[in-house]
Amino acid sequence: MFFIDTNIFLEYLLQRQKWEQCEILFKKIESGEITAITSGFCVHTIELLKEFLTYLISLEKLFVYHTLLVDEIRIISEMEKNNLEFEDALQYFVAKQFKCKAIISFDRHFDGLQIPRKTPAELA
């Protein structure tokens, strides 16, 4: 299982410079070639796009985890321990909880953590 960070969705949706890498990643999820998870926080960050929510529902191999208040206490500890902002600590926490092989992200704040960061292109 792989954790998908917010910036991967935004890169794809807004067709930024690396959107095609993200499209390949999402096709792998669609086909069931890989299984992925993201956080409810990530979804809430960009859920104003109705098409985005509809697309997420269609990805049967993408799971969304919604943190509990008790989780968020542990997330604050991850923030302090790894010198991360809350959003990054939350994403990292979820990835750790589900023993993800990697965090798929363009965000270098995840570099050097216990779970490696990979870009969509590195999964090809």
Q: What is the pLDDT of residues 42-90, one digit of tens each?
A: 988 887 667 788 888 999 999 999 999 999 999 999 999 999 999 999 9
Question: Residue 62's beta-bridge partner residues?
Answer: 36
Identify the structural domains of the chain with CATH numbers, from first to last: 2-123 (3.40.50.1010)
User: What's the pTM value of the predicted model, to 2 decimals?
Assistant: 0.90
User: What would the two tokens of residue 30 be?
Assistant: 């669609």
Distance CA 8, CA 2 (A): 12
Say how many C-beta atoms besides its own lie within 10 A of residue 109's C-beta: 19
